[in-house]
Amino acid sequence: MIEELPKIRTRYKCDFVVVNGENAAGGFGITEAIYNQLLDAGADVITTGNHIWDQRETLVYIERCERLLRPLNYPKGTPGRGAGLYKAANGAEVLVMNAMGRVFMQELDCPFQAVEAELNAAPLGEVADAVFIDFHCEATSEKQSMGYFVDGRASCVVGTHTHAPTADERVLPAGTAFITDAGMCGDYNSVLGMGTQEPVNRFITRIPRGRFEPSNGPATICGLAVDIDDKTGLALRTAPLRLGGVLSSAEPAFWLDEEA
């Protein structure tokens, strides 16, 4: 699917692209080689989540990879970074944050306090021209709460982790684009991207019979498009992106209309 990224960036004239890569290495973390492949294909920043440390090498290479983020609410002293200020193709300064929820997840530091600290350090409209937050968590209520917590202070909050795209993309009342979960990029004839046999077996028997193996059927690329006001840094409109595979297709019509 990496080879599709340059086409997507060109077709929609994207100024900035964030990719969640925490399952890029066969479903378990991300390697430095894959990180570099994603950057070469056109990703500006790669976010992650609870699988960030699945590849032990990540503990070493993450320090030199400025465009790879791990959840910012890991304890102080954790390798890597959870936020950064990056320049978009149109010259805008984009603050990107990666935070992880705590409901049904690891007990990390408070993600709301961690996000608040970053917003105070680089406020929208003062230091940052746009603010993007990847909020990686299980509970839909926690994701939606984050959206309203930063509404009017961030350009976009995208929920990740559950692998299933939700149909609630919208611009919140004060101008922050939001979706509960952008969905995964992968084969949806699967269980969270894995071949169905072993996950089904474990639910039925509670006994592992083998390894989880990635499902390699036709893949769907899922994401969210956001049109941001250059003056305010807030969202003007947003739309889902679903291409290929077995899900119904969706494209951001507002970009296609401008192209026409």
What does the H/E/C string look like for the chain?
CHHHHHHHHHHCCCCCCEEECCCCCCCCCCCHHHHHHHHHHCCCEEECCCCCCCCCCHHHHHHHCCCEECCCCCCCCCCCECEEEEECCCCCEEEEEEEECCCCCCCCCCHHHHHHHHHHHCCECCCECEEEEEEECCCHHHHHHHHHHCECCECEEEEECCCCCCCCCEECCCCCEEECCCCCCECCCCECCECCHHHHHHHHHCCCCCCCCECCCCCEEEEEEEEECCCCCCEEEEEEEEECCCCCCECCHHHHHHHC
Active site residue 161: no
Q: Which is the catalytic residue, given 51, 136, 161, 163?
A: 51
Query: Catalytic amino acids?
Result: 51
